[in-house]
Amino acid sequence: MGYLEWGKEKSMFIFEGEADIFSRSLSDPGAFLHPFILVPLCGQIMLLVTVFQKRPGRILTLAGLACLSSIMLFLFFIGLITPSIKIAGSVIPFLVTGIFVLQYNRKRQS
């Protein structure tokens, strides 16, 4: 899910931020090309492609997971240093799923 909060009463889920970025990309395409936006988006697209494959490609799955991990691990780090349980806790499902994916692919490789 990914959750952010800043200031006194400002908060947003990652998908809300993505929707905001997509709506602004028509008027300001340069903002869309920031690496911290583009890399996780590419990761989401790669993982979406693997969902529709009969046998998901190992490299595509791991590359998508790595790209998406860039923002999720950063959010987890922010949640730890600001002691925000909401932010850190919103990343835990992703981390657990990522660990299972890595274990599955390690077994599949052997």
Using 50, 70 and 90 to split pLDDT, how confident is the model at 110?
A: low
Using 50, 70 and 90 to split pLDDT, how confident is the model at 62?
A: confident
Instruction: Report the SS3 class of residue 27.
Output: coil
Q: For residue 7, with 0-12 CB atoms within 10 Å meaning exposed, 13-18 middle and 19 or more buried, which class applies? A: exposed
Higher pLDDT, 30 or 43: 43
DSSP string of 49-84?
HHHTSSS--HHHHHHHHHHHHHHHHHHHHHHHHTT-
Instruction: Report the SS3 class of residue 11.
Output: strand
Using 50, 70 and 90 to split pLDDT, how confident is the model at 18?
A: confident
DSSP-derived letter for residue 34 is -
Instruction: Report the SS3 class of residue 95.
Output: helix
Token representation of residue 32: 């869309």
